[in-house]
Structures are given as C-alpha cells and as structure tokens.
Amino acid sequence: MGTDTADGLLPMPTEADFKAAAAEVRATHWYARGPAKLGVRATLDQLHAKLTTSTELYETGGLDDQRYAVVDALNAIQEFLIGQGFNPNVLKPAHRPIEALVEQYNNGLDPMFAERRNEQGGRQRTSPDEQHRTGALAAMAQFWIEIHPRGDQQLAEAARRLRGRFFGSDIDADDLLTARKKASKHRRAKQFDHPIVYTAMSVRRMIDGYAADYGPAKAVTLAIWHLNYLAPATETGNWQTIKGEPVK
C-alpha cells in the first residue's frame, strides 16, 4: 500500500476493510473445517465407548461423579469432532459448560450460569473475559490521556466512542478510570502475567502500531474497529487475537 504524500503515513483503512478482513479470517481460519485426521468408523466406536462409560458414571454416581461424567462426555465429543477436521473455534459453545464445571470445582460460578456465588462462597468472581475487557479499556484510556491535553478530564469523549461487539454499549468515563487504576495496581505488584495487565500491554502494542502507521489521531478508531471485528468473542472478546498483526 502506498504512503500518504502529505505526512508519510499510510492511508487509513475503512471500517468496511475491517469487516471484510474479519469475514475472510473467519472463513479461512477461525471456523473453517479441515480434512479429517482420523477414520470415522474407528473413532465413532471409541466415542461410543467413552460416552457409555460417562453415562454409566452419570447414572450411578453422586453429584460430583455426574459432573465428571458431563465433562468426560463433552470432551469425548469434542475430540471426535476435532479428529474429523472441525476447528476448535466452532466448538466454543460446547466447551463453555466444561469451563463452568471447572469454576464450580474451584468454588466459583461461571457468570453465564449464575449471577453470583452462594452465601458461603463470597463475592461474585470476575470472569476471565471481563478481565481481558478491563485490560483493553485500561490501554485505551492510557493512550487517550497521553495524546489529549487534560486527557483524564476528557475520558467521557473516549467512552462515547467505545461502542460495538467487543465493548458493549454502556461504557462511561468511570469505567475507563477504574480499568486504568486496576491495571496500574497489578503492574505495581509486578503481576505482569495477570490477564488485565497482559491484555493492556497487548492492546497498547496494537495501538502503538496503528499510531506509527496512521498517526495517533486515527489509532483509537482503528483499535476500536480491530477489537470489534477481529476479536472472536466468548463474552466480550478474546485477548489472544490481539497479538495478531494489525490490518493494513
């Protein structure tokens, strides 16, 4: 792509470019089915045996045994489908109950299945997706403050721009300030592997890349489009996608 003759920056992609890129990535990478890796007949026999074992445990065991049986059955189904070339990304809805049962084992509740923990369990747990979203908000807030005079007093304008599939529709300036404070708290504690910090660092690298190519004024808009269209979501977004190269 050629450079902008006025300032040496690349021409800014459009929102339609991000939509098209997302559609292509989903078709060719995220959701595409590949060739079968294993024979159908043999793996169906294995699947039947695993499901039979899980069902016997489910029908005869206690509640904990039933939970194990559900996890084993869902894992067996997913392993069979992956062996037949199914992309793991299309199995995320089937994997979510497994994650919920793991949370239950750790004395937590998946927010998809319960609003809060029981009275003995303490306060509601923040889901990993919420932490990744918080990290993204922290990075956006920090960058906004750096490129605007009195940026910390103008976060309401930044919040109004953060709309879409990844961000939702109800972000305000307080959300941005809170996210920034949480990220700073974990950084000061040197918890660099914490999801909030890791995501904030990943998103910031992405924003800086856009700023270098297209200028700081356009970087925020490009980052919003990137997260809205190129981050596959379980709840509000998947931070792992952010590590990819910016769309040009």
| 140 and 222 share one domain | yes
| 197 and 161 share one domain | yes
Q: Is residue 166 part of a domain?
A: yes
Q: How far is CA 194 from the centre of its chain?
A: 14
Question: What confidence score (pLDDT) does residue 49 get?
Answer: 96
Length of the chain as a residue count: 248
- Report the chain (248 residues): mean pLDDT per 10 consecutive residues: 60 88 78 86 93 94 92 94 90 87 77 57 60 91 89 82 87 93 91 87 92 91 89 44 39
CA 94 to CA 76: how far, in whole Å? 11
Question: Among positive and negative, which fits the CA dihedral 107, 108, 110, 115?
Answer: positive
Look up the domain containing 234 and give its range.
127-239
| 101 and 133 share one domain | no
| 99 and 189 share one domain | no
| 68 and 157 share one domain | no
Question: What confidence score (pLDDT) does residue 131 get?
Answer: 84
| 163 and 72 share one domain | no
| 154 and 228 share one domain | yes
Question: What confidence score (pLDDT) does residue 167 get?
Answer: 86
Q: Is residue 4 part of a domain?
A: no
| 100 and 166 share one domain | no
Q: Is residue 28 part of a domain?
A: no
State if pTM tops 0.75. no
Q: Terminal CA-to-CA distance of the chain, rounded, Å?
A: 8
Contact 235, 32 (CB under 8 A): no
Q: Is residue 67 part of a domain?
A: yes
Q: How many Cα atoms occupy the beta-carbon half-sphere of 88 within 13 Å?
A: 4
Tokens read off for 3: 């450079």
Q: Is residue 248 part of a domain?
A: no
| 216 and 149 share one domain | yes
Our count of domains for the chain comes to: 2
Radius of gyration for the alpha carbons in the chain, expressed in angstroms and rounded? 22
Residue 168: helix, strand or coil by DSSP?
strand
Contact 222, 13 (CB under 8 A): yes
| 134 and 79 share one domain | no
Count of C-beta atoms within a 10 Å radius of residue 33 = 11
Q: Is residue 115 part of a domain?
A: no
Question: Among positive and negative, which fits the CA dihedral 212, 228, 134, 186?
Answer: negative
Count of C-beta atoms within a 10 Å radius of residue 64 = 10
Q: Is residue 97 part of a domain?
A: yes
